[in-house]
Amino acid sequence: MLDKSTKIYVAGHRGLVGSAIWKNLWERGYHNLIGRTHAELDLTNQAAVRAFFDEEKPEAVVLAAAFVGGIMANSLYRADFIMKNMQIQCNVIEEAYKHGVQRLLFLGSTCIYPKNAPQPMKEDCLLTSPLEYTNEEYAIAKIAGLKMCESYNLQYGTNYIAVMPTNLYGPNDNFHLENSHVMPAMMRKIYLSKLLAEQDWQKIRRDLAIRPVGANIRENGEVVRYVVDGESDEALICKVLAFYGIEANKVTLWGTGTPLREFLWSEDMADASVHVLLNVNFSDIIGVEKYSQVHYGVAADGAVDRNHSTGRGGAIPSLGEIRNCHINVGTGKELTIRELAELVVKTVGFEGELLFDATKPDGTMRKLIDVSKLHSLGWTHKVEIEDGVQRLFDWYKQSLA
């Protein structure tokens, strides 16, 4: 357990999970928190990250910052997804180690698992077969991040724990249509379609003033970039929204609606993350005795030799392979994209037509994780999907007030 005065750096503290983790820590009495916006600190800049650690000297780190997006963004910005995330992870984890940070929490994603992994996905199925192509770069970056944590623990005796959350949603979610995840994008599309049908241009313009929408639309053989906000012409707004499948009382979503997905309320994820940060050690995951042998060596009679630190856990053949030390974080429950859409339709009060474009990609057909390791470490989720969707819609409407 960290002392309440511990200086904790939360990277990505304005994001979906980072903001929830900050709030959770604060409510638990951890008030010595440090955060930097992207404008204040570019985590892809190695020199800037080093200067930040030199100045602030955090004692614990939560690495929740990442370059993220849905299927469309992953397809468009493949180089950015692997490069930016690798830069962020390498810079923060390495500087944390160099500055004596013993406890770090790294947030990954369940997209690290193979496309055709056995369901529900256990931590041990990592790297057993090919990844889903549409998010391969992001997944590879996150795999590298969890392997960095694992490797630093084995070599240097740190407590760098990686957690792999399922699909997240909640306060401060990303509703920007070009790079948002499935639930907020779906909710915004359905809500805007309802407003178009009602001709409620005041609310439509308010929505676009807060979250402008851009689209690259092909016209006469050329791609034209349009961006609409609260001041844009009604006809242009309708044109851009239609690009995203949003029409008056008619919404078209990508894919067939058949993929199964698991969703976790972001504040539940934050609670799980803080629980792990405060209570879980690397030794709890690989076994106390094995961890002792990793870092103290083994005497001739097979006993742990605590007088000699080896720092070379991977070089002790008798211990076998130490891998897959990350922790899945989720609910262990799933529903189809169509079922989710119907739940959003009911929550929003949408009475229009809901269509699915089967020519667009579905992504991985099923992504359910095994959360038995997390449960064994003392944490289970609290918010069920029906309650969570209502909470998200309430937050979204409040953000437009």
**Residues recognised as catalytic:** 138
Alpha carbon distance 222, 273 (integer Å): 47
Name every residue whose Cβ is closer than 8 Å to that of residue 155 and which is 6 or more positions away in sequence.
Answer: 311, 312, 313, 314
Q: Coil, strand, or helix at residue 255?
A: coil
Alpha carbon distance 282, 288 (integer Å): 9
Per-residue buried b or exposed e for 283-300, using 16+ beta carbons within 10 Å of the residue's own CB: bbbbeeebbebbbbbbee
Helix 337-348 and helix 385-399: axis angle, to 10°?
50
Q: Is-contact 225 329, C-beta < 8 A?
A: no
Residue 217 neighbours by CB distance under 10 Å: 14
Where does residue 320 fall: left (phi above 0), alpha (psi -120 to 50 degrees), or beta otherwise? Answer: left
